[in-house]
Chain A
């Protein structure tokens, strides 16, 4: 264990002695976050037309039930009054035209059977098939559209949680001998509405940060910064993976092997080094962005758990790249391609409205970690990001196993 730690600490020390690497690992994410913040108006006050405040959005509610109305109420609520500027609903075509003309950041279309699909069948306990809630986004306002999508997603996830509660309650009702369908439907609707009323379907803390003396509501940088941190985390782990091959080229790997140090110990030490570097990088970015940009990352325990998990999964990718490549140039090439691809498909820069791309994003540590950081930023806790953490650990385990196979093949 002493040798593994020594290798890990040595690698951490080496990375932090490399000025070029530090520029990309630490300075670049800050600068890009800052740049994107300026471009998107994150540093403007409420009067700024392109800022995060007053996002123009239209909701077309075709739902005859209560849930559609709840969502409309949420968008018009006082909590979101400064963030959103709901536009009076007209027709679907007119709404889309306004989005196309960039007059609206997004159009939220609540389908006619939205509430019905949320109420489980009293016999099977399953929800009915129906049209999905649609968000028609303005390509010119990706960040504002992402904010709206985040609000809608959280609404739906809370409705899902409510649905589970209803299902369990109806099953209890059924077991008690009740058979009248009307009773079931009334109870289901009542439960959903009651759940929605007693526990607000969405809570977005109207917190503020101070940048240059201006108050900024709902700090947009809290969406940008995690994305950038995770984007450059992929660079760091690739750099770490490259160090495995570099040690072979420099002869230091052979020198380690000439001591009574096992191959497993050496690889574990290298893994520890990559992991520690990743944790240090994201940790520094989190702390730095809190201090510099006033970003509130949310529940610190959740943040720490997510940083560790994201670094672990990213380390897995770094090892797979190192195991698959034959030269450091190959690692650099594959690593850069992977970093850019992961950034694109994980929604780091902008949400891509394509279910295949979104599904593919699930193979990236970025997507799971980004979702987790967004949840924490919106006030959720460690318990809420456990699925994200679980996915990252599962990803790490699979990638480590693949890396071991690849390294064995290399040695052979």
Chain B
């Protein structure tokens, strides 16, 4: 992993007898996107609130760019950007006035702030609506402005708490692209979502959180391997192809878990399809059989979550 921007150690939050977050350990490298994936009420927002110094941890600590959330909250706040799940904007003010106010709160001012506001309005495609009141904006526009506010002071680490909830597909696409752009620019992002496909698209690392516990974390491939899920390859041949003999030969390969002939199709399960595909193609070529088409079915994070918890992610 790259140099760490965040290291959480046994972070806990208790409310009386109820333990909302039960000792979470995870790390984020600089320039990486870490997605916290979990159903509603899993503890994602509580975790972000502790990391943003809005809630004091009951136990444990986290270091962000070397600052402790317990002992140096102001140090932490100076390097993080916070994009809350609920829109935290002033509806009666214009987009520009909102950005100016939040920029001042972030310690900015003068020409630097003006320049940064113009940059961000352009980035979130709101330049032409800058002087209009936020109350006139669509949900997607408000979401984009909400993100822009969190980026004003060029934070090293941005917390985005379910930033795409309840918006149109076009705005959602824009936000996901923006997160990738931020990562490419070297910004680290902690992204919480209960949309599995968003986590799959954006994440360098994924943490799966449920009932306040981090039940699994790693790269997406690692997670799939952790739970023993396999990729499935469906190789389609001509109807005359000797698929039974061919599947037996494929089944003997070291990296293949199972291979089954099914009429003109051979179904192969492997740990990671992309890694073994060239080898499979060379075997079929050796047998002078032409593969007409290939379907790859990778187990997704939804399947991983189901495997780990026995429940679907959105139950």
Q: A and B from one assembly?
A: yes
Segment 107-155 of A: residues with Cβ below 8 Å from B:
none
Size range of the chain A interface in the assembly: 10 to 19
A369-407 to B contact mask, C-beta < 8 Å, 1/0: 000000000000000000000000000000000000000
Contact for A258 among B53, B87, B107, CB less than 8 A: B53
When the two chains form their complex, are residues A10 and B92 in contact, meaning their CB atoms are under 8 A apart?
Answer: no
The interface residues of chain B lying within 8 Å CB-to-CB of A250 are 86, 88
The interface residues of chain A lying within 8 Å CB-to-CB of B54 are 254, 257-258
B103-124 to A contact mask, C-beta < 8 Å, 1/0: 0111101000000000000000
In the assembled complex, the Cα of A258 lies from the Cα of B82 at a distance in Å of: 7
The interface residues of chain A lying within 8 Å CB-to-CB of B167 are none
In the assembled complex, the Cα of A18 lies from the Cα of B53 at a distance in Å of: 32
When the two chains form their complex, are residues B105 and A251 in contact, meaning their CB atoms are under 8 A apart?
Answer: no
Segment 342-358 of A: residues with Cβ below 8 Å from B:
none
Contact for A17 among B87, B88, B93, B101, CB less than 8 A: B93
The interface on chain B, measured as residues whose beta carbon lies within 8 A of the other chain's beta carbons, has a size of: 27
When the two chains form their complex, are residues B84 and A13 in contact, meaning their CB atoms are under 8 A apart?
Answer: no
A291 within 8 A of B: no
B89 within 8 A of A: yes
In the assembled complex, the Cα of A251 lies from the Cα of B49 at a distance in Å of: 12
Report the minimal beta-carbon distance from A372 to chain B, rounded to whole angstroms: 34
A198 within 8 A of B: no
B121-141 to A contact mask, C-beta < 8 Å, 1/0: 000000000000100000000
When the two chains form their complex, are residues B77 and A258 in contact, meaning their CB atoms are under 8 A apart?
Answer: yes
The interface residues of chain B lying within 8 Å CB-to-CB of A252 are 88-90
When the two chains form their complex, are residues A260 and B77 in contact, meaning their CB atoms are under 8 A apart?
Answer: yes
Are A258 and B93 CB-contacts (below 8 A) given A3-B104, A3-B105, A6-B104? no
B66-94 to A contact mask, C-beta < 8 Å, 1/0: 00000000100110101010111110110
In the assembled complex, the Cα of A141 lies from the Cα of B101 at a distance in Å of: 52
Report the minimal beta-carbon distance from A112 to chain B, rounded to whole angstroms: 65
In the assembled complex, the Cα of A261 lies from the Cα of B104 at a distance in Å of: 10
When the two chains form their complex, are residues B105 and A256 in contact, meaning their CB atoms are under 8 A apart?
Answer: yes
When the two chains form their complex, are residues B107 and A259 in contact, meaning their CB atoms are under 8 A apart?
Answer: yes
Report the minimal beta-carbon distance from B286 to chain A, rounded to whole angstroms: 61
When the two chains form their complex, are residues B78 and A255 in contact, meaning their CB atoms are under 8 A apart?
Answer: no
With CB as the reference atom, state the residue of chain A lying closest to B91. A250
Report the minimal beta-carbon distance from A195 to chain B, rounded to whole angstroms: 58
In the assembled complex, the Cα of A17 lies from the Cα of B77 at a distance in Å of: 31
Contact for B84 among A3, A6, A18, A255, CB less than 8 A: A255
The interface residues of chain A lying within 8 Å CB-to-CB of B80 are 258
B32 within 8 A of A: no
With CB as the reference atom, state the residue of chain B lying closest to A254. B54
When the two chains form their complex, are residues B88 and A255 in contact, meaning their CB atoms are under 8 A apart?
Answer: yes
When the two chains form their complex, are residues A255 and B82 in contact, meaning their CB atoms are under 8 A apart?
Answer: yes
In the assembled complex, the Cα of A6 lies from the Cα of B149 at a distance in Å of: 16
* Chain A contact residues, majority secondary structure: helix
A408 within 8 A of B: no
When the two chains form their complex, are residues B102 and A255 in contact, meaning their CB atoms are under 8 A apart?
Answer: yes
The interface residues of chain A lying within 8 Å CB-to-CB of B172 are none
When the two chains form their complex, are residues B84 and A254 in contact, meaning their CB atoms are under 8 A apart?
Answer: yes
Report the minimal beta-carbon distance from B141 to chain A, rounded to whole angstroms: 18
Contact for A251 among B86, B104, B107, CB less than 8 A: B86
When the two chains form their complex, are residues B52 and A258 in contact, meaning their CB atoms are under 8 A apart?
Answer: yes
A14 within 8 A of B: yes
Report the minimal beta-carbon distance from A358 to chain B, rounded to whole angstroms: 41
A254, A255, A256 pick with most chain B CB within 10 angstroms: A255
Are A260 and B102 CB-contacts (below 8 A) given A14-B93, A17-B92? no
The interface residues of chain B lying within 8 Å CB-to-CB of A409 are none
The interface residues of chain A lying within 8 Å CB-to-CB of B109 are 2
Report the minimal beta-carbon distance from B139 to chain A, rounded to whole angstroms: 15
A298-334 to B contact mask, C-beta < 8 Å, 1/0: 0000000000000000000000000000000000000
The interface residues of chain A lying within 8 Å CB-to-CB of B97 are 10, 13
Are A6 and B88 CB-contacts (below 8 A) given A254-B54, A258-B52, A258-B53? no
In the assembled complex, the Cα of A10 lies from the Cα of B96 at a distance in Å of: 12
The interface residues of chain B lying within 8 Å CB-to-CB of A251 are 84, 86-88
The interface residues of chain A lying within 8 Å CB-to-CB of B105 are 3, 6, 255-256, 259, 261
With CB as the reference atom, state the residue of chain B lying closest to A11. B90
When the two chains form their complex, are residues A2 and B104 in contact, meaning their CB atoms are under 8 A apart?
Answer: yes
A1-41 to B contact mask, C-beta < 8 Å, 1/0: 01100100010011001100000000000000000000000
Are A6 and B101 CB-contacts (below 8 A) given A250-B88, A258-B52? yes
In the assembled complex, the Cα of A13 lies from the Cα of B88 at a distance in Å of: 17
With CB as the reference atom, state the residue of chain B lying closest to A6. B104
The interface residues of chain B lying within 8 Å CB-to-CB of A14 are 90, 92-93
In the assembled complex, the Cα of A2 lies from the Cα of B104 at a distance in Å of: 8
Are A260 and B78 CB-contacts (below 8 A) given A17-B92, A17-B93, A18-B92? yes
With CB as the reference atom, state the residue of chain B lying closest to A259. B105
Report the minimal beta-carbon distance from A329 to chain B, rounded to whole angstroms: 20
Segment 166-194 of B: residues with Cβ below 8 Å from A:
none
The interface residues of chain A lying within 8 Å CB-to-CB of B93 are 10, 13-14, 17
In the assembled complex, the Cα of A255 lies from the Cα of B105 at a distance in Å of: 9
Report the minimal beta-carbon distance from A153 to chain B, rounded to whole angstroms: 45
With CB as the reference atom, state the residue of chain A lying closest to B106. A259
The interface residues of chain A lying within 8 Å CB-to-CB of B74 are 260
A-binding residues in B (CB < 8 A):
49, 52-54, 74, 77-78, 80, 82, 84, 86-90, 92-93, 97, 101-102, 104-107, 109, 133, 149
Given contacts A2-B104, A10-B97, A260-B106, 18 further A-B contacts (CB under 8 A): A3-B105, A6-B105, A10-B93, A13-B97, A14-B90, A17-B92, A250-B88, A252-B89, A252-B90, A255-B84, A255-B88, A255-B149, A256-B105, A257-B54, A258-B77, A259-B105, A259-B107, A260-B107
Closest 3 CB pairs of A and B: A251-B88, A258-B82, A255-B88
| 29 pairs, CB–CB < 8 Å, chain A vs chain B | A2-B104, A2-B109, A3-B104, A6-B104, A10-B90, A10-B97, A10-B101, A13-B93, A17-B93, A17-B133, A18-B92, A250-B86, A252-B89, A254-B54, A254-B84, A254-B88, A255-B84, A255-B88, A255-B102, A255-B105, A257-B54, A258-B52, A258-B53, A258-B54, A259-B77, A259-B82, A259-B107, A260-B78, A261-B105
